[in-house]
Amino acid sequence: MSPHAAPTLAPTPARALLVAAALALAAGCSTPASTPASTPASVQAQPGAPAGKPTPPSTTGTATARTTAPVLDVTGFPRRGASPGSGAATPDVSATPTAAAGSSRHTAEGSCSARIVEGLTPEQRVGQLVMVGIARGREDDARRAIAERSIGNAFFIGGWRDRGQVAEVSRRLQRAADESGHGLDLLVAADQEGGRVQQLKGEGFRRLPSAVEQAALPPDELRALATDAGRELRAAGVNLNLAPVADTVSPELGRANAPIGGLSRQYATEPGAVSTPVSAVVAGLHAAGVGATLKHFPGLGRVRANTDHSATGIDDTQTTADDAYLQPFADGIAAGADVVMMSTARYRRIDPATQAAFSRPVVTGVLRERLGYDGVVATDDLGGAEAIQHIPTGERAVRFVRAGGDVAVTGIARDGRVMSRALLAESRRDRAFAGLVRRAAQRVVELKVRRGLARCG
């Protein structure tokens, strides 16, 4: 398979702002932390801006503020041997979206993660690029993948009803990671959006309202709700929430939009009204010491079918590379989101031939270059999802990393082993691909350093 070339972006005023913001960020890397603002980036078009394009927030305000989240282990207590300053950094959400949360090449975390990745074996490197499902009753499948293939990430899927049980499984999986010898803890995640999508329920987990209901709350109340939910996750050994949903559902589709609108997973049908709750949830999770994931880039709000259940009806014929519907993702990035999850739909006006998770024009061209995001990029499910069944299991992970991605997610733990082997084989065959693996592993490890899941020195 030959990867798509990244599009050449012509100089524009927005690109000039990107450069200026990047220089400002570099100059401020060592600035002491200050209190972050809470106003989301504006999506209003400024005079003279092309209609329908997201407008970056003004860069004339205060410099990006960074705060330090508590450094916690999987039980919610301070992590052994962790430096108080190695917690997650949360940028001011009023900063320009191009000064992305993951853009930390100038930080101590970046040099630390590079040293860690240098010390990993090739098998351990590719293991950091896979996340496997933890299904109730099949926990040993995940444990074996972690212990035998050095898989570096896992997430809980369906049927979990007790926080104590979830916490015990989290501890067992972290012990398996310890035994693999790479010194890196797992990213342990869960889909804890609220409403119809809440994987952890029962004792120790409150019922969370749907996104539609959450959007009716004042931002401060929503942030507090997200903090409370994050504390429950942290107490269960979960350090990454696969939320919030940053998709804007087209008002023309509404509930006919099966993956989002049909399940009340959307905050609103207008991008500006989506940005505010997205930023509030990111901030609330960070206050609890839990990471946040924006999904499903570049948006599932304009398709009819659910990619989990269908390989047809998943074409978006409207979204462009500078679409207004991208603004909630830009604002979530500016708010400090830790991960961006890719859709497996197809976006005809960006890359008509390739599904988003495997598309270099989408992952690298739009997300990394246009929005300036240099953090961890993950996939939607690459295991049982119907939309990707035509691609061999291992090839799914290889295509994703070639597109510029980092973590291939599969709900089927056995598939994680197949993906790991495919990534290793391709990195041995293709030197350029080995470089992509190294850079992806560094982004994952850098996130772990910030979240207290890896240590330097």
- Whether the pLDDT of residue 290 is over 70: the answer is yes
What is the rounded average pLDDT of the residues 221-228? 99
What pLDDT, in 10s, does the model give residues 172-195? 999 999 998 899 999 999 999 999
User: Domain for residue 22, yes or no?
Assistant: no
Please report the pLDDT score of residue 456 as a whole number.
82
Catalytic residue from among 316, 331, 374, 380: 380
Is 162 a catalytic site residue? no
Lowest mean pLDDT among 158-162, 256-260, 381-385: 158-162
Structure tokens at 53: 């394009």
What is the domain-level CATH number for residue 363? 3.20.20.300
Is 308 a catalytic site residue? no
Give the residue from 264, 263, 346, 333 showing the smallest Cα distance to 302: 346
> What one-letter code names the amino acid at 383?
G
What is the rounded average pLDDT of the residues 373-401? 97
**Nearest 5°: phi and psi at 294?**
-90, 135
- What average pLDDT does the structure give for the chain? 83
What pLDDT, in 10s, does the model give residues 412-447? 999 999 999 999 999 999 999 999 999 999 999 999
- Whether the pLDDT of residue 13 is over 70: the answer is no
Domain extent for 253:
65-450
CB contact at 8 A, 176 and 143 = yes
- pLDDT level of residue 48 (50, 70, 90 thresholds): very low
- Distance from C-alpha of 14 to C-alpha of 5, rounded to nearest angstrom: 22
User: Domain for residue 27, yes or no?
Assistant: no
Gyration radius (Cα) of the chain, Å? 20
Structure tokens at 389: 């069944």
Number of neighbours of residue 431 by Cβ within 10 angstroms: 8
Please report the pLDDT score of residue 158 as a whole number.
84
ω into 298 cis (within 30 of 0): yes
User: Domain for residue 54, yes or no?
Assistant: no
User: Domain for residue 43, yes or no?
Assistant: no
Map the chain to HEC letters.
CCCCCCCCCCCCHHHHHHHHHHHHHHHCCCCCCCCCCCCCCCCCCCCCCCCCCCCCCCCCCCCCCCCECCCECCCCCECCCCCHHHCCECCCCCCCCCCCCCCCCCCHHHHHHHHHHHCCCHHHHHHCCEEEEEECCCHHHHHHHHHHHCCCEEEEECCEEEHHHHHHHHHHHHHHHHHCCCCCCCEEEECEEECCEECEEEECCCCCCCHHHHCCCCHHHHHHHHHHHHHHHHHCCCCEECCCECCCCCCCCHHHCCCCHHHCCCCCCCHHHHHHHHHHHHHHHHHCCCEEEEEEECCCCCCCCCCCCCCCCCEECCCCCCCHHHHHHHHHHHCCCCEEEECCCEECCCCCCCEHHHCHHHHHHHHHHHCCCCCEEEECCCCCCHHHCCCCHHHHHHHHHHHCCCEEEECCHHHHHHHHHHHHHHHHHCHHHHHHHHHHHHHHHHHHHHCCCCCCC
User: Domain for residue 118, yes or no?
Assistant: yes
Please report the pLDDT score of residue 159 as a whole number.
82
Lowest mean pLDDT among 6-10, 60-64, 279-283, 311-315: 60-64
Give the residue from 325, 275, 257, 334 showing the smallest Cα distance to 297: 325
What pLDDT, in 10s, does the model give residues 58-80? 333 333 333 333 333 333 333 33
What is the rounded average pLDDT of the residues 361-379? 99
Catalytic residue from among 106, 178, 309, 430: 309
Structure tokens at 323: 């679409």
Please report the pLDDT score of residue 42 as a whole number.
33
- The domain total for the chain is 1
Q: What percent of the chain has pLDDT over 70?
A: 76
Lowest mean pLDDT among 87-91, 263-267, 412-416: 87-91
User: Domain for residue 388, yes or no?
Assistant: yes
Please report the pLDDT score of residue 296 as a whole number.
98
User: Domain for residue 76, yes or no?
Assistant: yes
User: Domain for residue 51, yes or no?
Assistant: no
Please report the pLDDT score of residue 107 as a whole number.
62
pTM of the model: 0.78
